[in-house]
Amino acid sequence: MSTLHHEDMIFVAGHRGLVGSAIVRKLREKGYDNLLLKTRSELDLTDQAAVRAFFKSERPDHVVLAAAKVGGILANSTYPADFIYQNLAIEVNIIHEAWLAGVKKLLFLGSSCIYPKLAPQPLKEEYLLTSSLEPTNEAYAIAKIAGLKMCEFYNRQYGARFISVMPTNLYGPGDNFDLNTSHVLPAMIRKFHEAKTRGDGSVTLWGTGTPRREFLHVDDLADACVFLLERYEDPAFLNIGVGEDVTIRELAELVRRIVGFGGDILWDSAKPDGTPRKLLDVSKLKALGWKPAISLEEGIEDTRRWYLRNEAEPALRPGVIGTT
């Protein structure tokens, strides 16, 4: 029996981001139209007084906490104080005020990058906090772990209904395609597309191509989140992923074929590979009856189309003549 009703008011914090926008699309697709959405200029989530006033006046029934300060390795290493402060502030403000306002249910988005760096594979939920974190994103990870634990402790002490999820590597419409800050899959889509448009003979990628990674389309994540909002009551957090991985080399070959690039793929083995493998154990979520619906090939094609419509430079879009 669903604990989410179509007349309920749902506050989606971070609705313009990759995850938040996908959750908004999925909620609307399922008939949940009473959504409360605020831009950063309308509501600063790091401002405790503003968040308190918001919850007192709006009184949402449910909250999806998808807002976060995110960034790549360079940003995390350079601005760790910003990452820990802003993420902690957002989490503390929203989780505490949601409890004070009597919110029926809150869903908190964690991240699989907060698991220990050398945890066994595939990653089970119980591996969290069993060994050292990845140093390059330690500030972000500590903040996210704090948010996850805050939900757990509010459930234990106050009887709240705050659930948490741990998504794997995400991609999809609304992704970041900046080659300096993006993750591997959107970066590949852009690099192969630009190389194809310029007529390049090859594309060079970092590392050896041997690490294995799992990729989940953000619309599948959104579907899982709504599924859990409707049905899940256990305070224990859940992994969300596909339960399968590919090598970076296999991913590159797939993206090259989908984009239609006819040149070679070169590997710069002087660049680091990163963690050899990152795969989530999703047996607990599967046992609840949920599984992803979007194949990796279908998802990459969907993401490529979005990139061409929204991100590609005019001169690099098919059928568009650029000016110099």
State the catalytic residues.
140
Q: How many CA atoms lie within 13 A of 16 on its CB side?
A: 6
| Cα–Cα distance for residue pair 210/255, rounded to 1 Å | 16
What's the token pair of residue 54?
A: 């918001």
Cβ-based neighbours of 307, under 8 Å, separated by 6 or more: 175, 177, 186, 189, 190, 193
Q: What is the DSSP string of 170-237?
A: EESTT----TTT--HHHHHHHHHHHHHHHT-SEEEEES-S--EE-EEEHHHHHHHHHHHHHH---SS-
| Cα–Cα distance for residue pair 97/51, rounded to 1 Å | 7
Q: Phi and psi (nearest 5°) for 316?
A: -105, 0
| Cα–Cα distance for residue pair 76/28, rounded to 1 Å | 34
Asked whether the beta carbons of 65 and 95 are under 8 A apart, the reply is: yes
Long-range contacts: 253-258, Cβ < 8 Å, 24+? 254/296, 254/297, 254/300, 255/185, 255/188, 255/189, 255/192, 255/300, 256/192, 256/203, 258/297, 258/300, 258/301, 258/304
**DSSP run (H or E) holding 27:** helix 18-29
Q: What is the DSSP string of 49-89?
A: HHHHHHHHHH--SEEEE-------HHHHHH-HHHHHHHHHH
Q: Phi and psi (nearest 5°) for 4?
A: -115, 130
